[in-house]
């Protein structure tokens, strides 16, 4: 936390490196939409890419020894999750914490996430995300562009009328998306928890308010109900079958599998979680048993024609800043092609957030959300661990210089 506060002080003094016009000299650009651009410069004006070619303008930054790609777009994270000073998962129902403390932990996680190469993060979701989102948007804190659900709807919400009211409450409070729990945790089998009627109301009411819906659903039945209700994205889906994946593709429902970082982080920090907020030895055993199945489901999903796969991590306490480990797992263990993994974190995720006209691709007219890696992820996907340069909306937050 002390290191983070020092970084914040430096940021406030410098307000990051920002020039009205600058040039990034590059050797290799992965454009985020499947294209590769070689030996071209990127000219950025007032935070927007205005030219890709041979010209130079303004301050020149030489990135020719690095691989350029769009900043990662994470569709499922939890920036508010953190470990307390005793190195245990913070449980708001058991441990008191001031709003200021909560805000500092969330801001620290946002900073780590940005430094790890993620320039947009959808958080699902905590009320404190709103203030964090707005502070980052105003430029007073370093962090990824944030979208948030502010909370979630589930079986605890109640009958359809109560669910409708909850959707409107979140919308009125400024939510960017509605998060819905349609199944139990994988730690207890992932069984359905909402009826078709409840999901129909949740997703239709969200559409009336102009909001997307993302649905926590592990098994086929809960996911099927969400698809038929017209929801936007299925989260996790660790126990899905081919029929359900094909139904998702048919309806244009996005798939946000979390097969790497979330499991690895839980297992690495087991003692930080165990005994808190429902985390038990039996639950961890359930997760271990689910990992091979989740990877097999992902491999199956790759073969389903027209299924749109996006980049979510479900990053919780201990995982922030390591977000790209999810893509590394998808390639190494899941068999995804590196270029497809990168597109899923670029154009694919941007499209699922209705932001593909602004972010996710390195092209003229797009926001200058750009990162640079030491190494070529098309040859070795672990190059995603070596983020050396981070720019968001034309501001440099991490640099070789």
CATH code for position 393: 2.30.40.10
Asked if 227 and 113 sit in the same domain, the reply is yes
Asked if 53 and 124 sit in the same domain, the reply is no
Q: How many domains does the chain have?
A: 2
Task: Work out the percent of the chain whose per-residue pLDDT is above 90.
Answer: 91
Helix (H, G, I), strand (E, B) or coil at 30: strand
Omega into 125 within 30° of 0, i.e. cis?
A: yes
Q: How far apart are the first and last CA of the chain?
A: 25
Per-residue pLDDT, averaged over 359-382, amounts to 99
Per-residue pLDDT, averaged over 382-398, amounts to 98
Give the lowest-confidence range in 230-234, 236-240, 276-280, 319-323. 276-280
Per this entry, what is the length of the chain?
401
Give the residue from 296, 311, 313 showing the smallest Cα distance to 346. 311
- pLDDT confidence bin for 3, thresholds 50/70/90: low
Contact 315, 323 (CB under 8 A): yes
Rounded Cα distance between 84 and 266, Å, is: 16
Q: Is residue 14's pLDDT more than 50?
A: no
> Which pairing describes strands 21-25 and 41-45: parallel, antiparallel, or unpaired?
antiparallel
Rounded Cα distance between 397 and 255, Å, is: 31
Rounded Cα distance between 136 and 77, Å, is: 16
How does pLDDT run across 302-311, given as a tens digit for each residue? 999 999 999 9
Note the pLDDT of residue 15. Answer: 44
Rounded Cα distance between 39 and 29, Å, is: 8
How does pLDDT run across 242-289, given as a tens digit for each residue? 999 999 999 999 999 999 999 999 999 999 999 998 899 999 999 999
Asked if 63 and 80 sit in the same domain, the reply is no
Q: Is residue 19's pLDDT more than 80?
A: no
Note the pLDDT of residue 6. Answer: 54
Asked if 66 and 81 sit in the same domain, the reply is no
For residue 42, the cross-strand partners are 24, 52
Average per-residue pLDDT in the chain?
Answer: 95
Give the lowest-confidence range in 9-23, 60-74, 78-92, 374-388. 9-23
Q: Who has greater pLDDT, 10 or 114?
A: 114
Helix (H, G, I), strand (E, B) or coil at 130: helix
Q: Is residue 390's pLDDT more than 60?
A: yes
Domain that residue 139 falls in: 72-352
Per-residue pLDDT, averaged over 332-343, amounts to 99
Residues 44, 45, 50, 54, CA torsion sign: negative
Asked if 223 and 323 sit in the same domain, the reply is yes
Q: Is residue 5's pLDDT more than 80?
A: no
Rounded Cα distance between 342 and 17, Å, is: 26
- pLDDT confidence bin for 188, thresholds 50/70/90: confident
Query: Cα 94 to the chain's mean position, in Å?
Result: 28
- pLDDT confidence bin for 2, thresholds 50/70/90: low
CA-to-CA dists, residue 238 to 277, 305, 308, 365, angstroms: 22, 19, 16, 37
Quote the tokens at residue 207. 């559409």
- pLDDT confidence bin for 13, thresholds 50/70/90: very low
Asked if 19 and 81 sit in the same domain, the reply is no
Beta strands in 57-98, from DSSP E residues, in sequence order:
59-62, 67-70, 72-77
Asked if 390 and 287 sit in the same domain, the reply is no
Asked if 291 and 370 sit in the same domain, the reply is no
Asked if 282 and 187 sit in the same domain, the reply is yes
Note the pLDDT of residue 12. Answer: 46
What are the DSSP calls for 284-333, one per residue? HHHHHHHHHHHHHHHHHHHTSTT--B-----B-TTTTT-TTHHHHHHHHT
> How many alpha carbons fall within 13 Å on the CB side of residue 352?
32
Rounded Cα distance between 177 and 288, Å, is: 30
Note the pLDDT of residue 92. Answer: 80
Quote the tokens at residue 369. 């959300």
Domain holding 275: CATH number? 3.20.20.140
Note the pLDDT of residue 400. Answer: 84
Asked if 254 and 186 sit in the same domain, the reply is yes
Query: Cα 219 to the chain's mean position, in Å?
Result: 22
Compute the CA torsion angle 148, 153, 157, 160 (nearest 10 deg).
120
CA-to-CA dists, residue 296 to 290, 291, 303, 336, angstroms: 10, 9, 11, 12
For residue 221, the 8-state DSSP code is H
Query: Cα 363 to the chain's mean position, in Å?
Result: 22
CA-to-CA dists, residue 307 to 63, 234, 249, 257, angstroms: 35, 11, 4, 12
Task: Record the pTM.
Answer: 0.94
Give the residue from 188, 189, 200, 207 showing the smallest Cα distance to 225. 200
Asked if 37 and 185 sit in the same domain, the reply is no
Asked if 223 and 322 sit in the same domain, the reply is yes
How does pLDDT run across 35-94, given as a tens digit for each residue? 999 999 999 999 999 999 999 999 999 999 999 999 999 999 999 999 999 999 998 877
Quote the tokens at residue 193. 């928890």
Question: Tokens 């990824």 correspond to what residue?
Answer: 144
User: For the sheet containing 233-236, what is the strand order?
Assistant: 177-181, 212-217, 233-236, 254-256
């Amino acid at each position: 936390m002390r290191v983070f506060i020092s970084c914040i002080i430096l940021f406030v003094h410098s307000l990051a490196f920002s020039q009205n016009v600058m040039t990034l000299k590059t050797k290799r650009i992965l454009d985020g939409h499947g294209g590769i651009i070689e030996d071209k410069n990127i000219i950025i004006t007032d935070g927007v890419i205005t030219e890709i070619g041979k010209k130079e303008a303004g301050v020149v930054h030489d990135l020719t020894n690095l691989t350029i790609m769009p900043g990662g777009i994470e569709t499922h994270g939890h920036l508010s999750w953190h470990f307390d000073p005793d190195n245990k998962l913070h449980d708001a129902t058991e441990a008191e914490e001031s709003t200021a403390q909560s805000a500092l932990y969330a801001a620290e996680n946002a900073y780590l996430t940005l430094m790890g190469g993620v320039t947009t993060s959808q958080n699902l979701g905590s009320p404190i995300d709103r203030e964090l989102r707005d502070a980052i948007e105003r430029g007073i804190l370093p962090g990824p562009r944030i979208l948030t659900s502010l909370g979630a709807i589930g079986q605890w919400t109640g009958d359809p009328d109560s669910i409708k009211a909850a959707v409107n409450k979140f919308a009125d409070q400024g939510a960017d998306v509605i998060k819905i729990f349609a199944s139990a945790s994988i730690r207890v089998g992932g069984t359905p928890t909402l009826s078709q009627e409840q999901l129909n109301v949740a997703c239709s009411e969200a559409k009336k308010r102009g909001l997307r819906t993302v649905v926590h659903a592990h098994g086929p039945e809960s996911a099927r109900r969400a698809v038929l209700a017209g929801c936007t994205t299925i989260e996790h889906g660790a126990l899905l079958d081919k029929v359900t994946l094909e139904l998702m593709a048919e309806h244009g429902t996005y798939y946000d599998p979390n097969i790497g970082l979330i499991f690895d982080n839980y297992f690495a920090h087991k003692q930080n979680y165990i005994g808190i907020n429902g985390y038990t030895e039996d639950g961890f055993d359930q997760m271990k048993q689910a990992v091979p199945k989740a990877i097999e489901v992902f491999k199956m999903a790759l073969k389903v024609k027209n299924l749109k796969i996006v980049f979510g991590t479900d990053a919780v306490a201990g995982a922030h800043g390591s977000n790209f480990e999810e893509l590394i797992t998808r390639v190494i263990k899941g068999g995804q092609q590196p270029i497809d993994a990168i597109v899923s974190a670029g154009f694919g995720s941007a499209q699922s957030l209705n932001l593909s006209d602004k972010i996710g691709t390195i092209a003229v007219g797009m926001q200058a959300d750009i990162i640079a890696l030491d190494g070529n992820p098309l040859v070795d996907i672990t190059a995603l661990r070596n983020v050396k340069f981070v720019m968001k909306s034309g501001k440099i937050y991490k640099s070789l210089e």
